[in-house]
């Protein structure tokens, strides 16, 4: 067991890892259960991880789907889940007095879900509606297609929801076999933050999750960034633009320089992109930058929406503003450092954030790094280190995605940082 202040890393009787943060004077307890299984683990029949997530709520040996909902709401808890490229996470927030009940319900879903054929067929249709809803949202649809462009013909690039075609191929037996393969003690982490003593949590988890088999950790295929362009034609009032560049993993020495770079470029109302594109030129209502990092690769990107007639000007100005990042000012660097510090420290007031932070830190580094340590590290980053990240981006592969009604292949030629 590792202990630091209020935080501990513990191994249960079956090898399952528990991350615990004892938070005084909190009425709420946040529970997060992470399964190391997401889109990038899927070799075929894409959408399996997300389908299984849905089925966890559709009935167990003890409860049907309605009883699950009633019992969760009877204790005033908030139960949810989400699937990402790398993980499936189940979340429950509950008043501390009802934690034993909440953990029993959560364990019942994870261990005893039955996957009745009738429920599988119904939930397949629900997910098809979810896919249709995403297609109807042009910006969300662009992001999904852009991911497929950046990681072409790779599991990492596939839509988390799957496709109508892949969903039709997934059988009940597929779901059960895949769930048994990944939902085991080696692949699951549980984090709990709140005013609850460690011993009582360990006893509850050994009781409720003790039957999970040890299992094996699964590997994933390393991702490769693929440059290119995707032009999606659709009759819209605005065109939506995404520019993405291959970037660093979260283990890379430049990871936090990347974060500060992104904040200066497009992280808020004082950022360079917002000031130039919205305030100075009125080219867009929304413009921002984003970063996504994995253990093996990352993406740095900027996105904006504008009237289609403005598209060429918008892309040109976006690239010019990125190029301006070869030189940054000490004042703006200090400003985003303070933003980073404030947002990081203020977030600790939330037990939900604390539970999620434990998971993220352990998944990335196999230890819990205190937030104060990260803030101190970011505070020491120099102007030249952030500027060096720009020179890294200059050498990166580039991808462009546009959805709208005025797309031209030559727009890709505009996105050159050299």
| CA angle (49, 53, 59) in 5-degree steps | 135
Task: Look at strands 28-35 and 88-95 and give their pairing.
Answer: antiparallel
119-128 tens-digit pLDDT: 999 999 999 9
Task: Look at strands 398-404 and 238-247 and give their pairing.
Answer: antiparallel
Q: Which structural domains are found in the chain, ordered by start?
A: 7-210 (3.30.830.10), 228-416 (3.30.830.10)
Strand partners, 191: 19, 32
pLDDT of residue 211: 87
Sign (positive or negative) of CA dihedral 329, 332, 335, 341: negative
pLDDT of residue 2: 44
pLDDT of residue 5: 67
- Please name the helix (run of DSSP H) or strand (run of DSSP E) that holds residue 83, with its range, or none: strand 78-83
> Which whole-number Å values give the CA distances from 363 to 126, 138, 201, 275, in the listed order?
31, 32, 21, 36
Calpha distance 41→53 (Å, rounded): 15
Task: Catalytic residue, from 13, 42, 53, 71: name it.
Answer: 53
List, for the chain, all residue ranges whose pLDDT scores fall below the cut of 70: 1-5
Helices and strands in the chain, H and E counts: 15, 12
pLDDT of residue 1: 43
> Which whole-number Å values give the CA distances from 168 to 45, 48, 58, 195, in the listed order?
9, 11, 19, 45
- Contact (CB, 8 A) for 414 and 319: yes
Q: Is 104 a catalytic residue?
A: no
Q: 139 CB contacts (<8 Å, ≥6 apart)?
A: 240, 305, 403
């Amino acid at each position: 067991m590792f202990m630091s202040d209020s935080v501990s890393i513990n191994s249960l009787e079956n090898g399952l890892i528990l991350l615990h943060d004892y938070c005084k004077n909190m009425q709420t307890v946040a529970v997060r259960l992470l399964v190391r299984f997401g889109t990038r683990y899927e070799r075929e029949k894409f959408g399996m991880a997300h389908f299984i997530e849905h089925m966890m709520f559709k009935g167990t040996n003890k409860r049907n789907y309605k009883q699950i909902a009633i019992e969760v709401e009877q204790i005033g808890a908030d139960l949810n889940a989400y699937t990402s490229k790398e993980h499936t996470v189940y979340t429950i927030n509950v008043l501390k007095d009802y934690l034993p009940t909440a953990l029993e319900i959560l364990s019942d879903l994870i261990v005893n879900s039955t996957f009745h054929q009738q429920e599988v067929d119904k939930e397949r249709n629900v997910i098809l509606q979810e896919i249709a809803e995403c297609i109807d949202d042009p910006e969300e649809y662009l992001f999904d297609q852009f991911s497929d462009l950046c990681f072409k013909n790779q599991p990492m690039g596939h839509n988390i929801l799957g496709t109508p075609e892949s969903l039709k191929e997934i059988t009940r037996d597929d779901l059960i076999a895949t769930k048994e393969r990944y939902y085991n003690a080696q692949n699951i982490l549980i984090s709990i933050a709140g005013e609850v003593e460690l011993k009582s949590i360990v006893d509850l988890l050994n009781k409720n999750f003790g039957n999970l088999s040890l299992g094996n950790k699964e590997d994933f295929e390393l991702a490769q960034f693929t440059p290119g362009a995707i032009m999606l034609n659709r009759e819209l009032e605005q065109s939506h633009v995404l520019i993405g560049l291959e970037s660093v993993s979260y283990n890379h020495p430049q990871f936090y320089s990347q974060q500060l770079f992104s904040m200066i470029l497009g992280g808020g109302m004082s950022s360079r992109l917002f000031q130039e594109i919205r305030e100075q030129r009125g080219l867009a209502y929304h413009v921002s930058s984003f970063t996504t990092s994995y253990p093996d690769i990352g993406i740095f990107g900027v996105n904006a929406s504008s009237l289609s007639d403005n598209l060429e000007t918008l892309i040109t100005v976006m690239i010019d503003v990125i190029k301006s990042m070869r030189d940054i000012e000490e004042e703006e660097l200090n400003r985003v450092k303070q933003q980073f510090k404030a947002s990081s420290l203020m977030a600790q007031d939330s037990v939900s954030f604390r539970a999620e932070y434990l998971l993220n830190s352990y998944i990335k580094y196999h230890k819990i790094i205190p937030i104060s340590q990260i803030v101190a590290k970011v505070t020491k980053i120099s102007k030249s280190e952030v500027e060096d990240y720009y020179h890294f981006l200059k050498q990166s592969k580039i991808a462009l995605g546009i959805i709208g009604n005025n797309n031209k292949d030559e727009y890709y030629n505009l996105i050159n940082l050299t």
